[in-house]
Structures are given as C-alpha cells and as structure tokens.
Structure 1
Amino acid sequence: MRPLILISNDDGYQAKGIRSLTAMLEDIADIIVCAPDDARSGFSCAFSATIPLKLTLREKREGVTVYSCNGAPVDCVKMALQNICERRPDMIIGGINHGDNASVNAHYSGTMGVTIEGCLKYIPSVAYSLCDHREDADFEPLRPYIRKFTEKVLKEGLPKGICLNVNFPAAKAFKGVKVCRMGFGSWQNETTKCHHPRGYDYWWMVGHYHNDEPEATDTDRWALDNGYVAITPTEIDLTAYEFMSQKESWEE
C-alpha cells in the first residue's frame, strides 16, 4: 500500500504552492488535500469554535482527493483526519507557503499551524515555505529537495514532539542545506492608518521584519539570506527547561 500524505496550507486550496506540492509528490504517495477555501495567513494554531464548518469536494482522481473547508488551517487538519481520511496519514505537510515562515514568523503561520497540529497527533509533519509572496512564484527549484525530504521522513519518521520547518530562499538554485535554529527577530511599524471616505479611520496590518541578531550565522534567517535551504527542527513542548533549574526559588 502506498503511503498516505495529508496536505493543507494557509493560502487556500487554489494556491499555486499547494497545487505544485501535490504534483511533486503524487507519484510517491496517495494525497489528500484539505485546505481553506480562501487565504487564512496568520491564523497560527487557531481553530473555529463559533462557526459551523463545511467541506466541499473540489477534485477527485486516481491517488489525489482535494477538499476545501471554510475554517482555519488547523480546522482543515482536524476535519480531514476525522471525516475524510479512511486511514491514518503517514505524514502531514503544510505548504508550499507563498512567503517564508522563518524566525518569529513561525509563531504566526497557519502553515506551521498545520504542521504543529499534525505533530500534536503524533504524525510526522513538515512545513514547506518559499521566500516569495507572488501568486505565480516559481516552485520548480524546490522539487528535488521536497521529494528528498518527504521520502526521508516517510521512511525514517520524526521523533515524538518534533516537526520540521523548512524554508527555501527565492532562487533558481540553492547553495546547500543548513539545519539551523530559529533566529530572533521582531516586526516593527505593524499598522498603517488610513481614512475612509465615509469619515472613519481604519488600519491595515503591515510591518517590517527586523533581524535582531544579524551577526549570528547559525539561524534560519542567515541561511536564507545566504542562499541556503533552512531546516529548523521545532518542538511542541514549550517548557523552558533551563528556567526550571530556578524552581526552588519559586517554590519556597
């Protein structure tokens, strides 16, 4: 029996990134896509608790089934696991995202939300992202890397509680692959104020990313800025173990 991969994203089922990913992998696994019916960027691990969810079958052919859902990326994973998948997926993939999810972006990303949800279900999970926000971004240079990484995870699995955040620079070719840590950065000037003709003010969420440790060479941000594919192993256990060494002073 061929492996089964569940794919979702935060750009919507119709996005080029998720369609390209499906095309890259459909010869090595059966694919189920369950993705939002429209863009849901920035939804992180949010799920819908106050609206009814709907599934819409968009495509079904040999080895590939595509559904859309009106919920968040995490909703898509939950809905697919309980209502679409006839067997447990061997792997869950988020992406390919239009835009990087390196550094602190990983905390906001719906693509990473997909991957973390898979990890919480003890299913090997990976997020793929490209540093190119354009709707017609070129995903073809990613093909051999995504196939290699996916086949490796299908064969070897991942440790409990660990998923992978994989980011690609926007380039025709890459210098190599770096396994690296998440870099520290911050978003600045995150809102811009506008005035509506009807007389009220409103704001758009925008912002500019600032690398807070530009000299560090072991981060995902450095790897991307220097032409490398960045693989960041990500833990879902948020415990600050080093701080626990101070617990005596807190427990007195």
Structure 2
Amino acid sequence: MSLLDQFLWVIYPYLMLTLFVVGHIYRYNTDQFGWSAKSSEFLESKRLRWGSILFHWGIIFVFFGHVAGILVPKPFYEAIGITDEMYHFGAVWFGGAAGAATVIGVLLLLWRRLSVRRIFRNSSKSDFLALFLLTIVILTGFTNTVGYTATGGTFDYRDTIGPWFRGILTFRPLPQLVSDAPLGFQIHIITALLLFGIWPFTRLVHVWSVPLTYLNRHYVVYRRMRAKKI
C-alpha cells in the first residue's frame, strides 16, 4: 500500500467523519439560530417545486439503497434467499429510477441557483460548494450504477466498498479493498466524504431538523390590540 492509498482510504475518511460529528456538535452549540435550510422559496417557487420534489424523494430512496448495499453484508442476502441476480436487478432498475430522479432534481436546483439573479446574489459560498459537491456525488453514483454495473462491469461494491466502509466504522480499515477500485467509484467515495466533512457548516444541517414537535404544538393566538383612549 502506498502512502497515498493510506491517506485516501484510512486517514482521509476518519478526518471527514470526525469533522462531521464534531462539526455538528459545535454548530449546534454556537449557531442554533442559523440551523435551517434558509428557504429561498419567496424569491422563486416555480422551478424550486419540481427540483425539490424530485431531489428529496429521489435522495430518500438512494439513501436506503446505500444502506442496503453498503451497510448490510452480502451474506445476509444469501441467508434470506436473495440471489445476486435478484439484488442487481433491483439495484439497477429501482436504484436507477431513484438515481435518475435525484439527478434531474439536483440539476434543476443547480440551474435555478445559477440562473435566477435574486437567488444567486443571496447565496453564500457554502451554498454553492454544497450544491456542487452534491451534484458530483449524485452524478458519479448514478453513472457507476447505470453506466458501469448495468453494462456488465465486474467490480462488485458489495465485496469491496461495503466491507471497507464497515471496517472504517468499526475501526478495522481495509484500504486494499478500494485502492484498485474503478476511478468512478473512487471519485464518488472521495467527494461523498468531503461532503460529509463540510456538512455541519452548510445549510445541509436542516436534514436533522425534522419538525416532529409541530404535531402537538399549540396554535399561536393573535389578538388585536385596541387603541387606548387618551
């Protein structure tokens, strides 16, 4: 293993995941008022509607697809009777559909942020960085699934990337599993880890702000104040 491989597949992942955890704790303790998505709907809503719907629904299914493919070991599927052919059929067709929706959604959101002058002027550098990284991560992930795996690529991420990532989480890294992975998969991993590293310092923190308390929150009562007679 070269020093570059040791850095990319051992040191770098731990740096980014540490930033992810510590950064969220720091952001929550120092900037709770800024913990939001900073909605720009009032600046432009028509393009936002379709881009947001496609992106958010697509990314939810993509997330669960990654959990199924990366975090769940391959022997588990064999134990419950899911063959490689069945798994790859679902990954390519269902994963491909979710990936296509996510790609279209994120490209619409990127185009909206770049083309609508009012939104462009009110966007921060972190907004652009997060959106560009999201676009790269989503595009490389989609092309890896549809462009490589579906066309007969022999690299199996369940035998390589999956065990490597689980090894990172359990502090037993196996960098040799991904050091020879196809370039597209490596770019996807590196940019995804960078996205995790900057996550706490961008509007992406709103992902954790699920407003469950609104279910039992009392309505705000407004009363008109009568002018006092002098």
Q: Do these two structures clear the TM 0.5 threshold for a shared fold by scoring above it?
A: no
- Using the size of structure 2 for normalisation, the TM-score is 0.24
- Structure with greater helix percent: 2
Rg comparison, structure with higher value: 2
- Using the size of structure 1 for normalisation, the TM-score is 0.23
Q: Which has the higher contact order (CA 8 A, sep 6+)?
A: 2
- Structure with greater strand percent: 1
